[in-house]
Protein backbone atom coordinates (compact mmCIF):
# COMPACT_ATOMS: atom_id res chain seq x y z
CA UNK A 1 0.00 0.00 0.00
CA UNK A 2 2.84 2.20 0.71
CA UNK A 3 3.97 1.74 -2.89
CA UNK A 4 0.57 2.76 -4.23
CA UNK A 5 0.48 5.87 -2.07
CA UNK A 6 3.95 6.85 -3.25
CA UNK A 7 2.93 6.22 -6.81
CA UNK A 8 -0.20 8.37 -6.51
CA UNK A 9 1.76 11.10 -4.85
CA UNK A 10 4.33 11.04 -7.69
CA UNK A 11 1.54 11.19 -10.29
CA UNK A 12 -0.05 14.11 -8.49
CA UNK A 13 3.25 16.03 -8.34
CA UNK A 14 3.91 15.24 -12.02
CA UNK A 15 0.43 16.45 -13.01
CA UNK A 16 0.83 19.68 -11.05
CA UNK A 17 4.23 20.33 -12.53
CA UNK A 18 2.96 19.60 -16.03
CA UNK A 19 0.02 21.96 -15.60
CA UNK A 20 2.27 24.70 -14.23
CA UNK A 21 4.79 24.25 -17.07
CA UNK A 22 2.10 24.37 -19.81
CA UNK A 23 0.63 27.60 -18.36
CA UNK A 24 4.06 29.19 -18.13
CA UNK A 25 4.83 28.17 -21.71
CA UNK A 26 1.59 29.79 -22.94
CA UNK A 27 2.47 32.95 -21.02
CA UNK A 28 5.86 33.31 -22.72
CA UNK A 29 5.12 31.89 -26.14
CA UNK A 30 4.88 34.24 -29.12
CA UNK A 31 1.58 34.74 -30.90
CA UNK A 32 0.96 32.90 -34.12
CA UNK A 33 2.35 34.82 -37.09
CA UNK A 34 0.11 35.37 -40.04
CA UNK A 35 1.46 36.68 -43.31
CA UNK A 36 -0.48 39.63 -44.65
CA UNK A 37 0.56 40.91 -48.09
CA UNK A 38 1.86 44.47 -47.89
CA UNK A 39 2.22 46.83 -50.86
CA UNK A 40 5.71 46.75 -52.35
CA UNK A 41 7.53 50.01 -52.00
CA UNK A 42 9.44 50.85 -55.15
CA UNK A 43 12.80 52.35 -54.48
CA UNK A 44 14.12 54.92 -56.90
CA UNK A 45 17.62 53.94 -57.86
CA UNK A 46 19.66 56.98 -58.77
CA UNK A 47 22.04 56.52 -61.66
CA UNK A 48 25.44 58.10 -61.26
CA UNK A 49 25.63 61.40 -63.08
CA UNK A 50 27.70 61.22 -66.23
CA UNK A 51 29.54 64.44 -66.85
CA UNK A 52 29.98 65.28 -70.48
CA UNK A 53 32.07 68.08 -71.75
CA UNK A 54 30.66 69.80 -74.76
CA UNK A 55 33.49 71.22 -76.77
CA UNK A 56 32.51 74.55 -78.20
CA UNK A 57 34.01 75.17 -81.60
CA UNK A 58 35.03 78.75 -80.90
CA UNK A 59 37.89 80.95 -82.08
CA UNK A 60 40.35 79.63 -79.48
CA UNK A 61 39.49 76.01 -80.26
CA UNK A 62 40.12 76.78 -83.95
CA UNK A 63 43.57 78.23 -83.18
CA UNK A 64 44.40 75.31 -80.89
CA UNK A 65 43.23 72.70 -83.41
CA UNK A 66 44.90 74.22 -86.45
CA UNK A 67 48.09 74.78 -84.41
CA UNK A 68 48.02 71.14 -83.36
CA UNK A 69 47.57 69.99 -86.95
CA UNK A 70 50.35 72.24 -88.23
CA UNK A 71 53.00 71.70 -85.53
CA UNK A 72 51.65 69.89 -82.49
CA UNK A 73 51.17 73.42 -81.02
CA UNK A 74 54.95 73.92 -80.79
CA UNK A 75 56.15 77.46 -81.38
CA UNK A 76 59.80 76.56 -82.07
CA UNK A 77 59.24 74.02 -84.87
CA UNK A 78 60.72 74.56 -88.33
CA UNK A 79 59.81 71.92 -90.96
CA UNK A 80 61.98 70.67 -93.81
CA UNK A 81 60.48 73.25 -96.19
CA UNK A 82 61.41 76.14 -93.86
CA UNK A 83 57.90 76.84 -92.52
CA UNK A 84 58.08 78.04 -88.94
CA UNK A 85 56.28 78.04 -85.62
CA UNK A 86 52.96 76.88 -84.33
CA UNK A 87 51.10 77.77 -87.55
CA UNK A 88 53.96 77.00 -89.97
CA UNK A 89 54.46 80.42 -91.57
CA UNK A 90 56.78 81.05 -94.50
CA UNK A 91 58.96 84.15 -94.61
CA UNK A 92 57.20 85.44 -97.76
CA UNK A 93 53.78 85.28 -96.03
CA UNK A 94 55.15 87.10 -92.98
CA UNK A 95 56.66 89.84 -95.13
CA UNK A 96 53.42 90.14 -97.10
CA UNK A 97 51.57 90.72 -93.82
CA UNK A 98 54.08 93.39 -92.75
CA UNK A 99 56.12 91.33 -90.27
CA UNK A 100 59.78 92.10 -90.96
CA UNK A 101 61.48 89.66 -88.59
CA UNK A 102 64.18 87.06 -88.73
CA UNK A 103 63.47 83.35 -88.44
CA UNK A 104 65.01 83.33 -84.94
CA UNK A 105 62.90 86.29 -83.79
CA UNK A 106 59.75 84.66 -85.08
CA UNK A 107 60.18 81.17 -83.61
CA UNK A 108 61.26 82.54 -80.21
CA UNK A 109 58.19 84.80 -79.83
CA UNK A 110 54.81 83.04 -79.29
CA UNK A 111 53.00 86.38 -79.02
CA UNK A 112 54.32 87.42 -82.44
CA UNK A 113 53.17 84.11 -83.93
CA UNK A 114 49.66 84.59 -82.55
CA UNK A 115 49.58 88.13 -83.95
CA UNK A 116 50.72 86.86 -87.35
CA UNK A 117 47.96 84.21 -87.37
CA UNK A 118 45.34 86.81 -86.47
CA UNK A 119 46.61 89.11 -89.25
CA UNK A 120 46.56 86.25 -91.78
CA UNK A 121 43.00 85.23 -90.87
CA UNK A 122 41.79 88.84 -91.13
CA UNK A 123 43.58 89.31 -94.47
CA UNK A 124 42.21 86.06 -95.94
CA UNK A 125 38.70 86.83 -94.70
CA UNK A 126 38.82 90.21 -96.44
CA UNK A 127 40.17 88.74 -99.70
CA UNK A 128 37.73 85.78 -99.71
CA UNK A 129 34.69 87.70 -98.42
CA UNK A 130 32.76 87.22 -101.69
CA UNK A 131 33.29 83.43 -101.61
CA UNK A 132 32.36 83.15 -97.93
CA UNK A 133 29.14 85.09 -98.52
CA UNK A 134 28.23 83.15 -101.67
CA UNK A 135 29.05 79.58 -100.57
CA UNK A 136 28.80 79.38 -96.76
CA UNK A 137 26.26 76.74 -95.74
CA UNK A 138 26.26 75.09 -99.17
CA UNK A 139 27.86 71.90 -100.44
CA UNK A 140 30.30 72.60 -103.28
CA UNK A 141 32.20 69.81 -105.08
CA UNK A 142 31.09 67.45 -102.26
CA UNK A 143 32.40 69.68 -99.43
CA UNK A 144 30.17 71.47 -96.90
CA UNK A 145 31.39 75.08 -96.83
CA UNK A 146 31.86 77.25 -93.73
CA UNK A 147 33.86 80.40 -93.10
CA UNK A 148 36.33 78.65 -90.80
CA UNK A 149 36.84 75.87 -93.36
CA UNK A 150 37.57 78.39 -96.13
CA UNK A 151 40.05 80.29 -93.94
CA UNK A 152 41.80 77.09 -92.87
CA UNK A 153 42.10 76.05 -96.52
CA UNK A 154 43.53 79.48 -97.39
CA UNK A 155 46.04 79.10 -94.56
CA UNK A 156 47.21 75.80 -96.04
CA UNK A 157 47.14 76.55 -99.75
CA UNK A 158 46.64 80.27 -100.22
CA UNK A 159 43.68 82.32 -101.43
CA UNK A 160 44.33 81.59 -105.11
CA UNK A 161 43.95 77.84 -104.63
CA UNK A 162 40.74 78.35 -102.66
CA UNK A 163 39.34 80.40 -105.56
CA UNK A 164 40.39 77.65 -108.02
CA UNK A 165 38.55 75.10 -105.90
CA UNK A 166 35.31 77.08 -106.09
CA UNK A 167 35.66 77.74 -109.83
CA UNK A 168 36.71 74.27 -111.01
CA UNK A 169 36.95 71.82 -108.13
CA UNK A 170 40.79 71.98 -108.16
CA UNK A 171 42.17 70.39 -104.97
CA UNK A 172 45.57 71.83 -104.14
CA UNK A 173 47.88 69.66 -101.97
CA UNK A 174 50.88 70.87 -99.99
CA UNK A 175 54.32 69.21 -99.98
CA UNK A 176 53.11 66.60 -97.47
CA UNK A 177 50.06 65.63 -99.58
CA UNK A 178 47.51 67.48 -97.42
CA UNK A 179 44.67 68.90 -99.52
CA UNK A 180 42.83 72.16 -98.98
CA UNK A 181 39.57 70.20 -99.02
CA UNK A 182 40.73 68.15 -96.02
CA UNK A 183 41.22 71.45 -94.18
CA UNK A 184 37.81 72.69 -95.31
CA UNK A 185 36.24 69.59 -93.77
CA UNK A 186 38.42 69.27 -90.66
CA UNK A 187 38.10 72.92 -89.64
CA UNK A 188 34.46 73.37 -90.59
CA UNK A 189 31.94 75.04 -88.31
CA UNK A 190 34.11 77.04 -85.90
CA UNK A 191 32.77 80.39 -84.74
CA UNK A 192 35.64 82.78 -85.46
CA UNK A 193 36.05 86.18 -83.82
CA UNK A 194 37.55 88.27 -86.60
CA UNK A 195 36.03 91.70 -86.21
CATH number at residue 66: 1.10.530.10
Q: What is the pTM of this model?
A: 0.70
Residue 14 lies in a domain: no
Average the pLDDT over 40-65 and give the result. Answer: 75
Residue 179 placed within a domain: yes
Separation of alpha carbons 141 and 170, rounded Å: 9
Distance CA 150, CA 54 (A): 24
Domain assignment present for residue 111? The answer is yes
98 within some domain: yes
DSSP state string for 112-166? HHHHHHHHHHHHHHHHTHHHHHHHTTSEETTEE--HHHHHHHHHHH-HHHHHHHH
Residue 195 is predicted with a pLDDT of 77
The stretch 120-130 carries a mean pLDDT of 97
171 domain-assigned:
yes
Residue 27 lies in a domain: no
With respect to residue 42, please indicate whether it lies within any of the assigned structural domains: no
Cross-strand pairs, 58: 191
pLDDT reported for residue 106: 97
| pLDDT at 89 (0 to 100) | 97
Give the pLDDT confidence score for residue 95 in this predicted structure. 96
The predicted pLDDT at position 173 comes to 87
Q: What is the rounded average pLDDT of the residues 26-36?
A: 54
Closest of 190, 158, 187, 175 to residue 92, by C-alpha? 158
15-24 pLDDT, tens digit per residue, is 655 655 545 5
pLDDT at site 146: 96
Residue 105's pLDDT is 97
How many distinct structural domains can be found in the chain?
Answer: 1
Q: Is residue 67 part of a domain?
A: yes
More reliable by pLDDT, 69 or 26? 69
Domain range enclosing 166: 59-186
Amino acid sequence: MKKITTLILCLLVFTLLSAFTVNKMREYSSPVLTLVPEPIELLEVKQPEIKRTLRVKDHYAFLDDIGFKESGNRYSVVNRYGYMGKYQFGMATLKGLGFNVTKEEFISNPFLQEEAMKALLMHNKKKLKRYIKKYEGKTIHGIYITESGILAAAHLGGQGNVRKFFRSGFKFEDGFGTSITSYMEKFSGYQLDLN
